[in-house]
Amino acid sequence: MKIAIPVDDKSLESNVSGSFGRTLYFLIYDTETKESEFIDNTAAESTGGSGVKAAQTIVDSKVDALLTPRCGQNAAEVINSADIKIFKTTHASVKDNIAAYVEGKLPSLDEIHAGLHMHGDN
């Protein structure tokens, strides 16, 4: 299974980023081969709609699941349209969350917030 996690640093020792749309990097991790890849989140600097753009990046990475502490409405719509499951991270560190995911201990993310629009607008 390939999973995506928003992360603060390009390292497996990193913590999970507090934001999905505006995280600096995404970790793409394969739970079978244990291969990891870090990709830049080009949406981080967006004037608006960063959630949509970040979600497009995740979809294009062809992952099976997204592990994130939170997710906005528009981003969730993109992710769900691509049949990618969204799980809520329960630990600070990336490693702990991967372990919890592999053990099937991560809850699915049910609270989808309304988005933090209006960045650079109004």
Partner 1 sequence: MKIAVLSGKGGTGKTFVSVNLATVAKTSTYIDCDVEEPNGHLFFKPEKIQEEEITVQIPKVDNELCNGCRKCADFCNFNALAYIKNKLIVFEDVCHSCGGCSLVCPEKALTEKEKTIGKVQKGVSDEVIILTGILNIGEASGIPIIKNLLNTEKYRQDLLTFIDCPPGSACIVMESIRDADYCVLVAEPTLFGVHNLNMVYELVTLMKKPFGVVLNKCLEEENPAEKFCLEKNIKILGKIPFDSELATINSNAEIAVNKNGKYRKLFSSILDTVIEEAKNETTTSP
With CB under 8 A as the contact rule, the residue among 78, 86, 94, 98 that binds partner 1 is: 78
Instruction: Tell me the residue type at 92.
Output: A
Least separation in angstroms between residue 74's CB and partner 1 is 5
- For residues 43 and 55, what is the distance between their CA atoms, to the nearest angstrom? 9
Q: Site mask, partner 1, residues 29-68, x = CB under 8 A?
A: --------------x--xxxxxxxx-xx--x---------
- For residues 32 and 2, what is the distance between their CA atoms, to the nearest angstrom? 8
Q: Which two tokens stand for residue 31?
A: 């739970």
Residues that bind partner 1 (CB under 8 A): 43, 46-53, 55-56, 59, 74, 77-78, 81-83, 117-118, 121-122
